[in-house]
Amino acid sequence: MENVKLNDLSGSITLQFFEAMSQRVPIAAIYELYQVLEGLYELGAKNEVAIVLDILILWSDIQYPQLFEKVQRERSLTKDFAGEVLTDLGEILSEYL
């Protein structure tokens, strides 16, 4: 799968995910979670970060494209997708902080 499609998928999910999360927890807590996940991702724990993000996205009860389910089934895509989500989430958080 092309990186462009992962970027588009991330863009279609991350804002909805952020909005759902911000209704449940303070933005400061989302930022702390983001910092931890970003740090782990940079240290090479990409699979673990991908698992956490997948679970959080599923628990957020947002509507997501069917392509998300395909990405979840392929570990290599999941890791790249997690990086895209973290990038998008960081950009969103920078607007709120």
Is 85 within 8 Å of 13 (Cβ atoms)?
Answer: yes
Confidence (pLDDT) at 4: 52
Confidence (pLDDT) at 8: 87
2 phi-psi bin (left φ>0, alpha ψ -120 to 50, beta other): beta
Confidence (pLDDT) at 2: 55
Provide block-wise average pLDDT over 10 residues at a time, the chain (97 residues): 74 94 96 98 97 93 85 87 96 94
pTM across the whole model: 0.90
Is 49 within 8 Å of 86 (Cβ atoms)?
Answer: yes
